[in-house]
Structure 1
Amino acid sequence: MAAFALWKERRLRLGDDPSRKGRVDEPIAELLHLLNSSERFCTTSSCSGRLLLLGGSDQTEGQKQNCPWLFVTHDKCRKEDVVAGLQKSQDNAVFKFEPFVLHVQCREVEGAQLLHSIAINSGFRNSGITIGKKGKIMMAVRSTHCLEVPLCHQGAVLVSEEYIDYLVQVANRKMEENQRRIERFHTLLQSIMDSADPPEEPTGKTVEDAAVYIRRRRQGAAKRQQRRHQPMTPSDGDGKGDLLLLMDPS
């Protein structure tokens, strides 16, 4: 526990977010402050969600960091913004909506489970927990309502302005939903932290303590898999929101 506190102190002393932007996004600044005000959590990276036009000839996962941003916003956008960005493209261009993402290092497994439950109930269905062999506990808040559409190839725009207008409307609706989910996450977290009465000495589950929890989750997943091959009854669940708990080799 002391090691986590020391690491968190060093991490927060650095101040800036380790991203291309170099600082946290304003729409989630209060949420990150709320998390970091707790002794149980420390945020490591985040993005409030964004709409962007990504340029460059190679946009594979390994090369995206080197691709130019022709246009980017953390709010809704207009058709004119995208069209202006396309005019800067000399090669390929992809219009993307990337939802809210947040990575939090947790002091103990219970804290990670709490954040996972809040994330799932807020609509971030792709959230999960990883536990490293050295005991590092990470909670990732993720969603699946992404959007990625190529608009330009080798300098030639592939679609009409009418289609771009439609695409922007779809992306803006996704951004609105993203903001609603963030607000739900923030509200639930605030409510729980306000009402919680944590013990002075945390139970401090480590990797060894978490093994029982992992085994129970796997057994539950196996039972649900068996039920999927049986006729559904009113009492059968669909397994949505199950905790993703993996062992990270790091």
Structure 2
Amino acid sequence: MAAFARRKAQRLARPDPSRKRALDARAAELARLLNAHERFCTTSSCDGRVLLADTDGGGIQKKNCTWLLVTHDPCAKGDVMTALEKSTGDVVFKFEPFVLHVLCRELQDAQLLHSVAVDSGFRNSGITVGRGGKITMAVRSTHCLEVPLSHKGRLMVSDEYIEFLVHVANQKMEENIRRIERFHKGLELALEAAVPTDTLAPKGPEKSRSVYVHRRKRRTIREQANPSGELEPQDDTESSLDLFAEIMI
């Protein structure tokens, strides 16, 4: 426990290595929520973005490409066309969905986050356990888009096709934002409904081996969060919490 706390303190003290040097707005809210709990530490994130990258023909890599356009919100065809005027190499139009990496103190913590992420639509999420027992949960999805537009500065597609691509990317961005909102809401409910057992006094000679204890008020919390009771199938985190909420004796 002390080792994880030290690792978390060191990680959060580091400067942001991204080009922006700051967290994206939606990811920042999730980072604050998770980092407020001693069992979690966010390490990297992106809200999701529409990106126009000018490369030298060697593929899209941070070291050998120029970002002609990047936005974390729906974009307009005019913005893309203006950015293309600055192209000198091979331009690729991309949509990259939301991603979040979280260090977790114990495997059960990662499983809880994974369950909420999958229920929110991030079905490519996964858990890795590295050397030394470092546990990382990655929130990911698969609704990406990557299309080449120009070669050596020459546009290879029509204006009509670019308009179509922008429309598709904006649809993906809107769905991406909805998934983030579902994940944020589900995460708040999950963390509220789960209490670390090490904060509770043991009731018997044997210690509980489960990390989380189910609160009886979980239903009340959900009803307060959504008075209408109308949830999309992906929003319902109740069923996924049952696995982690039982006390194993």
CA deviation after TM superposition for structure 1 residue 64, in Å: 3.7
* 1:34-84 alpha-carbon deviations (Å, 9 max, x no partner): 0111111000000010001000113536x3433100100011100011101
Which ranges of structure 2 fall in alignment gaps of 5 or more residues? 200-207, 212-249
The 5-angstrom pairing of residues 234-249 of structure 1 reads none
Which secondary structure state, in structure 1, belongs to the residue aligned with residue 196 of structure 2? coil
The 5-angstrom pairing of residues 122-161 of structure 1 reads 122-161=120-159
Q: Work out the CA distance in 2 between the residues paired with 1:204 and 1:66.
A: 48
Equivalent in the alignment of 2:110: 112
Q: 1:59 to 1:43 in 2, by over 3 A?
A: farther
Aligned residues: 204
Which secondary structure state, in structure 1, belongs to the residue aligned with residue 195 of structure 2? coil
The 5-angstrom pairing of residues 7-156 of structure 1 reads 7-14=7-14, 16-60=15-59, 63-156=61-154
- How large is the Cα RMSD of the aligned pairs? 1.8
CA deviation after TM superposition for structure 1 residue 196, in Å: 1.9
Q: 1:133 to 1:59 in 2, by over 3 A?
A: same
CA deviation after TM superposition for structure 1 residue 115, in Å: 0.7
CA deviation after TM superposition for structure 1 residue 133, in Å: 2.5
Q: Name the TM-score, length of structure 2 as normaliser.
A: 0.78
Q: Work out the CA distance in 2 between the residues paired with 1:188 and 1:163.
A: 37
* 1:2-37 alpha-carbon deviations (Å, 9 max, x no partner): 1000111122123x4322221100122111100111
- Runs of 4+ aligned structure 1 residues displaced above 4 Å come to 201-205
Q: Work out the CA distance in 2 between the residues paired with 1:29 and 1:187.
A: 14
Higher RCO (Cα < 8 Å, 6 or more apart): 1
Q: Work out the CA distance in 1 between the residues paired with 2:42 and 2:64.
A: 25
CA deviation after TM superposition for structure 1 residue 178, in Å: 0.3
Q: Work out the CA distance in 2 between the residues paired with 1:198 and 1:59.
A: 49
Q: Name the TM-score, length of structure 1 as normaliser.
A: 0.77
Q: In structure 1, what residue type is equivalent to 2:17?
A: P
Q: In structure 1, what residue type is equivalent to 2:72?
A: H
Q: Work out the CA distance in 2 between the residues paired with 1:132 and 1:58.
A: 34
Is the CA contact 1:151–1:158 (under 8 Å) kept in the aligned structure 2?
yes
Q: Work out the CA distance in 2 between the residues paired with 1:93 and 1:203.
A: 53
* 1:128-158 alpha-carbon deviations (Å, 9 max, x no partner): 0110121000111111000001001111001
Q: In structure 2, what residue type is equivalent to 1:9?
A: A
Which ranges of structure 1 fall in alignment gaps of 5 or more residues? 206-250
Give the % identical residues. 61
Q: In structure 2, what residue type is equivalent to 1:87?
A: E
Q: Work out the CA distance in 2 between the residues paired with 1:140 and 1:189.
A: 14
